[in-house]
A and B are shown apart, each in its own frame.
Chain A
Amino acid sequence: MADKYPTEKLKTWGEAKDIRLGYYKDFAEAHEKGGLRWAGGAWAFDAVPAGLGDDVHSLTGEPYAASIAFNKEFSDECLEATEKYGFARDLCSYMRNYWGSILLNKYNFGGEFPKPDFIWTDHICCSHAKWYQVAAELEGGVPYYCIDVAVGPHEEADENRIEYIVGQLHDGIEWMEQVTGRTYDDNKLIEAVKNEFRSTSAWAETCALNKAIPAPLDEKSMYSLYVLGTLMKHSKVVADFYEKLRDETKDRVERGIAAVPTETTRVMTDTQPPWAFLRVFRYLEQYGCVSIGSLYTFGLIGLFEVKEDGSWGPKTTPMELGTSITNRDEALTELVKWNLAKPEWQHFYSPKYKSDMMIRIAREWKLDGVLLHYNRGCEGLSLGIAENRLALQEAGYPVMIFEGNMGDEREFDEARTMGRIDAFMETLGIMKEV
């Protein structure tokens, strides 16, 4: 298949890899440098522990478990250790990989599993509070704090719901001071909160740039980029990086640089991919098919809003709106209001929210079809997915489904999925390059 567009490697690619590896190294070595370690979900309010100091490092469970899943051999060891302990095989596969890493006392990046000093997480699906309740027990009783954020969709957020979460965060700061013996610095919190706004808005802007034809980014590459926001979106390093990435992506659009030079067909996926089988995306490229992303890739950390022209774009930050953030309460309130708008939090309350967002992406990103991953590994992001399929079809978008598991390679049939892709492309009238 002849190239239609020029392509080139991302200039910021190496920097993204370095930030990611540095994150895991910093966590492992934190104690050697007198620092602190906390663990929790990637949706935890990571800006809040930042008030304890610059030497506080985190291990967010989902990206860590995805790293394990990519390493199939170690993942199988972890999953089997968790099952041997007595947990059901159909539970969240991230959680099972994570627990297995504790049970085996092996860190995916080498050495023993680095025990956190405390756990700081949040809860919106059925698993997260329990994930870390068990993790705390497996670690011998690590102090544990979890914030309930399941207060309904953003459009119905009101003072009572916001205050419930803000109140838990206030209590959590006092709790962190008690369990760490450190004095909390509100200025560091404010700085971290502002960084989070910058990170998550810049990532959304980058995703919006993928509306261009040809798409400057492909989803497989985006996985390596969005992950930084799941590690430490509150950090200056990540905020600066995302702004740099946005600028580079804008430049690629202006110069017509494609992620997939043979781009003829545009699709999106849904939920986490089967991490051990990312070559599925390269297989798509044999059809000149680019996955431009997904609600998952865009909205797990990216914050969007409807712009004046009616399209989806990056959410305007409180700083851009001139909102003052001068103290702890203001910082926590703005942080909660911002996070409640997270796209991937909406569909926990009804599939119609997710369907609307997916149809919007299908239209604005000019898609030819949709690949839905019926993901047995994540009940949260698979919630309502069958209804999403019906809604997308009703909106006129061809949908292919494939069943798999983001973190348990034993539940993914690669050959069958490739076969389905072949059949789907045939229905779209797309020929594979031989």
Chain B
Amino acid sequence: MIEMFKEWFDARHEYAKEWKEKTGGKVLGYFCTYVPEEILYAADVLPVRILGSHEPQDVTEPYIFGMFCPFCRDCLAQGLKGRYDYLDGIMISQSCLHIRQAYTSWEMHIPVPYSYYLPMPNNVQSPRALPYLVGEMEKFKKSVEEWTGKTITDDDLNRGIEIMNRNRELMMQVYETRKGEKPPLTGLEAMYMVVSGQMMHKDDHSSTLEGTLKELDGRNADRNVGQRLMIIGSEDDDTEFINMVEGCGATLVVDDHCTGSRYFWNTVEPNGSPLEAIAQRYIDRPRCPSKDWGERSRLPHIMKLAKDYNAAGAILVQQKFCDPHELDIPAIKNELESNDIPTLFLELDVTVPIGQFKTRVEAFLEMLMEEDLF
């Protein structure tokens, strides 16, 4: 069953189109994982994440200045090329400026019937963030109701929460298996799982996850795990890169990515008010660097992951020009290295210089193996 996730990953557009044809429902493209999918599921809308294609392109040159990250330009390119022509709406929840440009240019040049900007608070550590976000989610819910013509009841919201939580809990169980001495799945397989889940209906994804969990016991027992690595950084669905790293004699056992663990790490805890419970979840989730202030909550979270998953080293990887991650890299690097976890820093573009990166990854792994010797 695990192969299904790659198939969905590769055929994301076909899946969404088929879902739409089959159900007659609306599909909404979202640009950031701070989007409260619970509310969309409550309205029977299918949320699909807009991601790039890792192909060189020049269609975005008139719209986004080249100093902004290649990921935001790659996302916009997908719209300009018509690959998401089945979308009924788009939305963004406030995170970084870069992806916001992809959203606003999309809104201007690829008109869709519905678009929504959710001003998710950045000061999530303030006690003022929760009531503010609840208010914003109320407005968003009302907007979705007007768009879909469907009243969203508390029961609907609870159903949305259940759909999302079930998927999160299953993904947590999958990740739990990676803590073992012989992880039953590779980092590449885990990436296919998480990212495909961002593009398809959670019920379909969760059903397959349940089946997959049964298959994981004893799977890959003969595979040479090699060095246990964690990967930390900005959006990363570059499967070619992950495959290369694992082909050099390593296994990525855990990550801190929005295309990885940050997406599903915490659940909505019911508290009587569904919207408040949803808002609380997005405030508490493992943070994107643009929201990780005044205290640095990412450092203890990353160190706990490193410890729990017994990581021997970490690859710090970010999209070129990604300011939020660039701002956190020195602190993360220092924290890991002062805790005896060596790091390798790599900067990604839309396309990855695989040969050059392979040399650097091999050198990093050799260094880790030397430490094992002595």
Which residues in A have some Cβ–Cβ distance to B below 8 Å?
85-88, 90-92, 123, 125-127, 129-130, 133-134, 137, 144-148, 150-152, 160-161, 163-164, 167-168, 171, 348-352, 374, 376, 379-380, 382-387, 390
Q: Which residues of B contact A123 (CB under 8 A)?
A: 122-123, 293
Alpha-carbon separation in the docked complex, A349 to B323 (Å): 18
Also in contact, A379 and B135, with CB within 8 A (given A130-B324, A164-B121, A171-B126): no
From A161, A167, A374, A383, B101 is in contact (CB under 8 Å) with: A383
Shortest Cβ gap from B100 to chain A (Å): 7
**B326: nearest residue on chain A (CB-CB)?**
A88
* Beyond known contacts A129-B294, A164-B131: 19 more, CB 8 A cutoff: A88-B326, A123-B123, A125-B97, A129-B123, A130-B289, A133-B293, A134-B327, A146-B293, A148-B126, A150-B122, A164-B121, A164-B132, A167-B126, A349-B104, A350-B117, A376-B67, A379-B68, A380-B97, A390-B62
Alpha-carbon separation in the docked complex, A163 to B127 (Å): 12
B83 interface residue, CB < 8 Å from A? no
- From A90, A137, A385, residue with most partner B Cβ within 10 Å: A90
Shortest Cβ gap from B79 to chain A (Å): 14
| A383 engages B105 (CB within 8 Å) | no
Q: Which residues of B contact A390 (CB under 8 A)?
A: 62-63
5 CB contacts below 8 A, A to B, read A87-B329, A90-B326, A146-B293, A164-B128, A383-B100
| A382 engages B135 (CB within 8 Å) | no
| A352 engages B108 (CB within 8 Å) | yes
- From B63, B97, B107, B333, residue with most partner A Cβ within 10 Å: B97
Alpha-carbon separation in the docked complex, A257 to B371 (Å): 75
Chain B interface residue count: which class? 35 or more
Chain B, residues 69-107, CB within 8 Å of chain A (1/0): the string is 000000000000000000000000010111011001101
**A377: nearest residue on chain B (CB-CB)?**
B67
| A161 engages B326 (CB within 8 Å) | no
| B333 engages A86 (CB within 8 Å) | yes
Q: Which residues of A contact B61 (CB under 8 A)?
A: 386
Chain B, residues 125-160, CB within 8 Å of chain A (1/0): the string is 011110110011001000000000000000000000
**A137: nearest residue on chain B (CB-CB)?**
B331
Shortest Cβ gap from A413 to chain B (Å): 15
Q: Name the 8 nearest CB pairs between A and B, nearest first.
A: A148-B123, A160-B135, A164-B132, A86-B330, A167-B128, A88-B326, A130-B327, A129-B293
Shortest Cβ gap from A391 to chain B (Å): 9
**B318: nearest residue on chain A (CB-CB)?**
A88
Interface of A is mostly: mixed
Q: Which residues of B contact A386 (CB under 8 A)?
A: 61-65
Q: Which residues of A contact B294 (CB under 8 A)?
A: 129, 133, 144-146
B114 interface residue, CB < 8 Å from A? no
| A126 engages B135 (CB within 8 Å) | no
Alpha-carbon separation in the docked complex, A200 to B104 (Å): 29
Alpha-carbon separation in the docked complex, A144 to B139 (Å): 32
| B63 engages A168 (CB within 8 Å) | no
Q: Which residues of B contact A134 (CB under 8 A)?
A: 327, 331
Q: Which residues of A contact B331 (CB under 8 A)?
A: 134, 137
Q: Which residues of A contact B123 (CB under 8 A)?
A: 123, 129, 146-148, 168
B212 interface residue, CB < 8 Å from A? no
Q: Which residues of B contact A125 (CB under 8 A)?
A: 97
| B97 engages A126 (CB within 8 Å) | yes
| B117 engages A152 (CB within 8 Å) | yes
| A379 engages B67 (CB within 8 Å) | yes
Alpha-carbon separation in the docked complex, A134 to B327 (Å): 8
B290 interface residue, CB < 8 Å from A? yes
**A123: nearest residue on chain B (CB-CB)?**
B122
**B136: nearest residue on chain A (CB-CB)?**
A160
Alpha-carbon separation in the docked complex, A129 to B288 (Å): 13
Q: Which residues of A contact B131 (CB under 8 A)?
A: 160, 163-164
| B119 engages A151 (CB within 8 Å) | yes
Also in contact, A90 and B321, with CB within 8 A (given A171-B126, A387-B105): yes
| B104 engages A127 (CB within 8 Å) | no
B296 interface residue, CB < 8 Å from A? yes
